[in-house]
Structure 1
Amino acid sequence: MADTEFLVVGLGNPGQKYADTRHNVGFVIIDELARRWGSELSLEKWNARSCRISRWGSRINLVKPMTFMNLSGKAVAEFVRFYKVPVENIVVIHDDLDMNPGRLKLVRGGGAGGHNGIRSMTESLGSNNFYRLKVGIGRPGKGDVHPDFPVDKYVLSSMSGEEVDLVNERVTFIEDGLQFLITEGPARAMSLINSIK
C-alpha cells in the first residue's frame, strides 16, 4: 500500500447507555487498540473522537464516530477529505450477527448486509471499496441465545463477561492483522484474521 495515511474506524453509538453493548464492539476494539498503543481518543472534531498515531511506518487515525450508527459515514468522510485518505486505506470494525461470537472476518467491499453503519459509510464515501473487519456477536436462536429475543434488543443489550473477555482476546489478532495489512497488503492479513473462528 503506497499511501501512508490510514483510518481504522470502530462503529458504535455514543453515550454510556450503549457503552458495553454488542452493537458497540467496534468502539470497544478501537479503545483497546489506543490503550495498547499508549494513546487515547482525546481529539474531538468532525463529530468523532480520534487519535493519530505513527506505527509501522504509517500514520494511523483511530476513529469513533459520535454521530450514532446510522450516520457514521458523515464523520468518517471528513477525515477522508482532510487527510486525503484513499478509500482502500480505510478499515471499518463492526459487529456481525451472522457470525459466532468472537469470530473475525476481514473483507473488502460487499453490501451492507442490513448494517446501517456500513450503509452510511458507503453512501458518504461514494464507494464500498474499504475494508470491513467483522466481529461476530451471534444472533438469537443460536448458541445459548433464546430464539424469541428480538434482534434489535439483542444487539443493544450488554455483552456478557465471557463475551467481553473473548473480544479482548481477539484484539491481539486484530492488531497483528492490521500490521500485515499496512506493511504487506491484504493477503496475509486476511489469512490470519479469517482463520479466527
Structure 2
Amino acid sequence: MEQELWLIAGLGNPGRQYEKTWHNCGYLVLEVLCQRYQIALNKIRFKGLTGQGTIAGRKVILLQPTTFMNLSGESVREAMAFYKIPPQRTLVIYDDLDLPAGQIRMRPGGGAGTHNGMRSIISQMGRQDFPRVRVGIGPLPANWELVSYVLSDIPQDQQQQMFEAFSQASDAVEKTLRDGIEAAMNQANQKRERHVPE
C-alpha cells in the first residue's frame, strides 16, 4: 500500500526584502526542515516553491507559497488538489501575533485570527479543520502599526531566540508526522509552560 503523503506549507512573502521579517517565520521554519532532512525547494509549482522528501518516516511535500501572503490559499489548495491530500494531512506553519515572541503552539484547527495568509487558506479550503504550527511574534510593540511591524526585520537581539523557536517548530512538525497531532500538541504545550514565569 502506498504511504500517505503530507503537505507541509510554510507561509511568508517572496523577495529578498522580506527574508528575515517576522511575517516570514513559516518560510524560516521550512528552511530548518530542509537543512535537517536534505530537502531542496527546487521546483516551481502550485504558485510556490516545492520540494519532496521524507520526515520522520513520512513522505512529505514542502511548499513555500510565492503568491504573497494574502493569496497563500491559492497555492495550498492547488497542491492539495494535485496530490489529493486531505486537510487532516495539510500542516501549515505561520507567524502569530497573539503569542509571545518565541513561543510555539499547535492546533488541530480553528480560525485565522488576524493572519491574512490563514484567512486565504481557510477561504480556499472552505474549512478550518487542518493542523497548524503557530510561531509567536507578539506582542505588537507600542506605537507600531500591525503591517509595519510584521514586515519589519527580526531585531538582532531576538534572532537567537527566534532561531530556537524555528527549531522547536520543526520538532513539532516531526512529532506530528511520527506520533500524531495530539502528541505534538502535548509536547509543544509542555515546552511553552516551562517558559512561562510563575
When normalised by structure 1's length, the TM-score is 0.91
Deviation at 1:109, TM superposition (A): 1.5
Deviation at 1:78, TM superposition (A): 1.1
Counterpart position of 2:6: 6
Counterpart position of 1:194: 189
- Partner Cα distance (1:138, 1:174) in 2: 16
- Partner Cα distance (1:194, 1:3) in 2: 29
Deviation at 1:152, TM superposition (A): 1.3
Q: Secondary structure at the match of 2:31?
A: helix
Pick from 151, 154, 159: which aligns with 2:154?
Answer: 159
Give the aligned residue type for 2:39: S
Trace 1:98-177 onto structure 2 (pairs within 5 A): 98-140=98-140, 145=141, 147-177=142-172
Deviations 1:40-89 (A, max 9, x none): 21111111001110232321111100000000010111110111111011
Q: Confirm or deny: 8 A CA contact 2:135 2:165 kept in the other structure.
A: no
Deviation at 1:39, TM superposition (A): 2.2
- Partner Cα distance (1:122, 1:11) in 2: 13
- Partner Cα distance (2:159, 2:33) in 1: 15
Deviations 1:82-125 (A, max 9, x none): 11111011111111111111001000221111211001101111
Unaligned ranges ≥5, structure 1: none
Q: Secondary structure at the match of 1:181?
A: helix
Q: Confirm or deny: 8 A CA contact 1:31 1:40 kept in the other structure.
A: no
- Partner Cα distance (1:48, 1:8) in 2: 12
- Partner Cα distance (1:46, 1:158) in 2: 27
Q: How many residues align?
A: 191
Counterpart position of 1:34: 34
Residues 51 and 130 of structure 1, relative CA distance in 2, 3 Å threshold: same
Q: Aligned-residue CA RMSD in angstroms?
A: 1.6
Trace 1:50-129 onto structure 2 (pairs within 5 A): 50-129=50-129
Unaligned ranges ≥5, structure 2: 193-198
Deviation at 1:3, TM superposition (A): 6.4
Q: Secondary structure at the match of 1:67?
A: coil
